[in-house]
Structures are given as C-alpha cells and as structure tokens.
C-alpha cells in the first residue's frame, strides 16, 4: 500500500512570501502525483498533475516538482486567496490522498 505523507500540517505565511509544501511517498510512484487546493465549503480543485504540469487555468505562481518519492508544491508569491488546504494524490492500485497541509495567509 502506497502512503502519502504531507508536511507541514499547517503553514502560516504572509502575502508575497513563497510557500513550499512537501509530499512524500513510501514507495516510488515515478511522477504520478497530483495536487489539489480545497477552500472551505468547496470541492477540491486540481492544480498540478504528473508532478509538474499545471492544470488548465491555474496561475503560473503554482508549480510542482519531484519524482520517485519526494514531491513539492511551490506557490511563488502568496496571495490572500491562496488560503486553503492542499492535498497530494497518487495513482496506484487504489487511489489515495495525503492528509493535507493547511496554508494560512
């Protein structure tokens, strides 16, 4: 079973700063990793897939990197609207998500 572990649990930053969110897998998942943003009362929104490809309509300040077991979501210049919970998700025999990182701006 592939387990994803996200860190930190909570991240508090100011507007304009850079956010770095991590997602680690306990097995090699190549680049089969997606990132989502979820705001209160809303469904998750796809940000990144295949570890580094931005989904349609996602601002360029969001970027993803990594492969194998270590992945990073970077938000280059934070805006207040980026306050949300961020989840990573992998592909395997069954689909699983990380536990989430809460980003507070």
Partner 1 sequence: QVQLQESGPGLLKPSQTLSLTCAVSGSSMTTDSYYWSWIRQPAGKGLEWVGRIFSGGNTNYNPSLRSRVTMSIDASKSHFSLEMTSVTAADTAIYFCARNNYYFFDYWGPGSLVTVSS
Rounded to a whole number of angstroms, the minimum distance from the CB of residue 49 to partner 1 is 4
> Whose structure tokens read 């090699």?
28
Position among 22, 46, 67, 74 found at the interface with partner 1 (CB under 8 A): 46
Q: Which stretch binds partner 1 (CB under 8 A): 12-20, 32-40, 63-71, 72-80?
A: 32-40
**Contact between 80 and partner 1 per CB under 8 A:** no
- Quote the CA–CA distance of 78 and 105 in Å, as a whole number: 8
The contact set with partner 1 (CB under 8 A) reads 32, 34, 36, 42-46, 49, 55, 87, 89-91, 93-100
């Amino acid at each position: 079973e592939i387990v994803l572990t996200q860190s930190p649990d909570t991240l508090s930053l100011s507007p304009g700063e850079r956010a770095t969110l991590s997602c680690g897998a306990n097995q090699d998942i190549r680049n089969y990793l997606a990132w989502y943003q979820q705001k209160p009362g809303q469904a998750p929104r796809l940000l990144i897939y295949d570890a580094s490809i931005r989904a349609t309509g996602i601002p360029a300040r969001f970027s993803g990197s990594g492969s194998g077991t270590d992945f990073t979501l970077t938000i280059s210049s934070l805006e207040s609207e980026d306050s949300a919970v961020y989840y990573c998700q992998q592909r395997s025999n069954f689909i699983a998500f990380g536990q989430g990182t809460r980003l507070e701006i």
